Each structure stands twice: as structure tokens, then as C-alpha cells.
A = this chain, B = another copy of it.
């Protein structure tokens, strides 16, 4: 049996980092490469050094600490991120990094050595809230994103540049990225499934494919009182119908298909003016890439038809097209069995959100461990996970890592 992690020590660690960039009323703001992010990084590096890890920083600012193993091979890596959205919670990202540190602390305290080295990593700008795209650090680390291009990225709605900000906060390093022996990420679910089903551990099988599409409908601005219905070219009503169609497609296809219209803007946006323009976004996701492609295709055809029938024109702009990512079946199995061995009710499930883990999946055995999010809330200062679930997730992480790294128990 692997040693037991210390929940009080892990909670202290989460609360301590949670004070860096803390918001009045709860939650944290550690937008990537801001002063608050730098403070969080400094905190993390100090903790890593305190645990005896050798700290490395690469050119995109990823931080990882290595605990040596008996063999001088690629390490088993635990990782996630410590940047947050503007109104983030304490656990999104931070849990995966700090649970990694807790595994190290547990092995240190128990005097357990491993055949393979262990690594704990925090990747730069996972959220994408300040600089797009998201998963920037892990993407560069695993070769999916181009370093020079990412360093030149300008802040969304701002003037800051990634490379300059990295230099400014002192996190433009020179360490060379590598492919780990395996990658494991503990994360809050950020959705309601585990809580609703009364489960405590999710063995994540895959990350859903994601299609983001922006649809702009152009009709004719007209007076709401003087323009008969039959003479209108109402861009708003076409937009509303497209939004309803997205919902209907997801309902018809059934789980795991989801569709969300999160942005909807009318112009000129006045009570008594028939809208001349509607702009909306549709976020569609599915673990099956073919079904997702067909769903998006169906929606866009229907959008075209709706616009044409109303005398409007339509402009369709794909904002994102990510194919689904499938995690390593053997490693997912290890996660599920480790949870069962600890008597933790578990299920296999896809991830609806993107995570750093997906950047590793093409290159090495990769899996994720989910714990419940209260009410499914995330990217919200009221984001919460129960301490018992936090402890359970960290324990499963520890158990699987000990297995993978050949812990000398």
C-alpha cells in the first residue's frame, strides 16, 4: 500500500496559494503573467525548493520541479496550472499542481524512493483569459504550439506581449522541455456530473472535441412600429432561430453532445428598432469527432436556410475546431482501479473542458483524475470542492504515480 497523503497539509497549501491574488469576497485573480501570477510562481518555486525538488523554467515560463529516481530516465509528471481567470476559484488548476507537491511531500515523509524520477509542473497561461490561445505553456512544451509565435502574442484587448511579460516577471527561462514517461493531472470536474451521480472520482477517458463558431446575420434596421412583419428582414429573429436550432440539435443527438449559445448581440440594440445585425457564438462539443462534425455541419446549413428565408445574409466564422483527444486506456484503467481500491465510487467520463493533459496525450501515456465540483460551478469565485474529495483525488494521484514510477514500498 502506498503511503497516505496528508489532507491538512494539502489544504494548508491550497489556502496559502489562494491568498496570492485573493479577491474580496472570495476567489482569486491570477491572470497569466501579471504581478499576481508572478507572486504565485515565486510561492510555488519556494515550495518546490522546500521539498528538495530541482526547479526548471523554460522559455514560455513553464515551471517544473524534479525529484530524482533510481534511474536517470524521463520522469512521471504530475501537472496543471496556477493561472486563473479574472474571477477564479481556489482549485481550478492549483489543485493539480499542489496535489503533485503533496505526493512529493508524502513520499519524502515516508522515505519512499521511486525507480523513475517524478516531476511536478505548472504550465503557463492555461486559462487563455489574458492571452489567447489557452493551454499555451503545455502546448509549447509538447510541440503543439510554436514558441516564437506564442512569445509574440499580444494580450486580448491590451498591449502587453507574452515574451515581454515573461521577462518582466523574471520567468523567461532556458530549460529544455521533454516528453515524460507518463502524465497525470488531477483537476476539479468543473461540471455537475460526479456530484449529481453521487460519485467521488472521475477516471477521465478523453477530452471532448470543441467547435466554436461565430455567426453574424445581417438584415435591415427598421422602425419597430412602422414596419409590417412581412416587410422585415429581422436579423435578430434569424439569430434567435439559429440559437434554438443549436439547442434542438444537441437535444436530438443526446449526451455527450452539448451546444451552447453564450454570446448574442444585437445592433443597434434599441427597444423600438428591428435589429439590422445579430452576432452569436455557438459552442458545440462531443467526444465523437464524426458526430461533432456532422452536428456543426447541420447547424450551419440550417443557419443558412433560416437567413435566406428571412431575406438576410449570413457570415460564418469558425473560431475553433479541436478534434477530440483520447487518453491512454491502460492509464485510465489504473486510475479507475486505484479509486476502487480506496473504496471511492467512480466512473469513466469525458472531460468537457480543455486541459493541459490533452497536449501530452499524443506523446505519452496520459490520463486525468476528476473530483466533484459543488453545483458544477467553475470560473467563479464560489467554485468549491469538498475537502474529503480533494483528499481522495490526491490519494488516487499518489497511488497511481507510485505504481507508474515503481515506488519502493
Distance in angstroms between the alpha carbons of A202 and B341 in the assembled complex: 83
Structural contact, B266 and A264, CB atoms closer than 8 A: yes
Also in contact, A191 and B222, with CB within 8 A (given A258-B229, A269-B263):
yes
Q: Within 8 Å of chain B (Cβ to Cβ): is A227?
A: yes
Which residues of chain B have C-beta atoms less than 8 A from A259's C-beta?
Answer: 229
Structural contact, B189 and A226, CB atoms closer than 8 A: yes
Also in contact, A231 and B376, with CB within 8 A (given A240-B243, A261-B237):
yes
Distance in angstroms between the alpha carbons of A264 and B354 in the assembled complex: 29
Distance in angstroms between the alpha carbons of A210 and B223 in the assembled complex: 13
Structural contact, B352 and A192, CB atoms closer than 8 A: no
Q: Within 8 Å of chain B (Cβ to Cβ): is A208?
A: yes
Task: Tell me the interface secondary structure of chain A in the complex.
Answer: mixed
Also in contact, A231 and B281, with CB within 8 A (given A272-B262, A378-B223):
no
Also in contact, A225 and B262, with CB within 8 A (given A212-B271, A231-B196, A244-B244):
no
Q: Which of A233-249 contact B (CB under 8 A)?
A: 234, 236-237, 240-241, 243-244, 247
Q: Within 8 Å of chain B (Cβ to Cβ): is A380?
A: yes
Structural contact, B261 and A236, CB atoms closer than 8 A: yes
A254: nearest chain-B partner, CB-CB: B229
Q: Within 8 Å of chain B (Cβ to Cβ): is A379?
A: yes
Which residues of chain B have C-beta atoms less than 8 A from A222's C-beta?
Answer: 191-192, 376-377
Q: Within 8 Å of chain B (Cβ to Cβ): is A323?
A: no
A320: nearest chain-B partner, CB-CB: B271
Distance in angstroms between the alpha carbons of A391 and B348 in the assembled complex: 77
Also in contact, A226 and B272, with CB within 8 A (given A236-B243, A236-B264, A237-B243):
no
Interface footprint category on A: 35 or more
A226: nearest chain-B partner, CB-CB: B191
Structural contact, A260 and B224, CB atoms closer than 8 A: yes
| Shortest beta-carbon distance from A50 to chain B in Å | 34
Distance in angstroms between the alpha carbons of A29 and B351 in the assembled complex: 54
Q: Within 8 Å of chain B (Cβ to Cβ): is A270?
A: yes
Which residues of chain B have C-beta atoms less than 8 A from A241's C-beta?
Answer: 244
Also in contact, A229 and B255, with CB within 8 A (given A262-B270, A283-B224):
yes
Distance in angstroms between the alpha carbons of A212 and B269 in the assembled complex: 14
Contact with B along A374-397 (1 / 0, CB 8 A): 011111100000000000000000
Distance in angstroms between the alpha carbons of A222 and B260 in the assembled complex: 10
Could you list 4 further interchain pairs (A-B, Cβ under 8 angstroms) beyond the known A223-B353, A240-B243? A191-B227, A223-B378, A264-B264, A271-B319
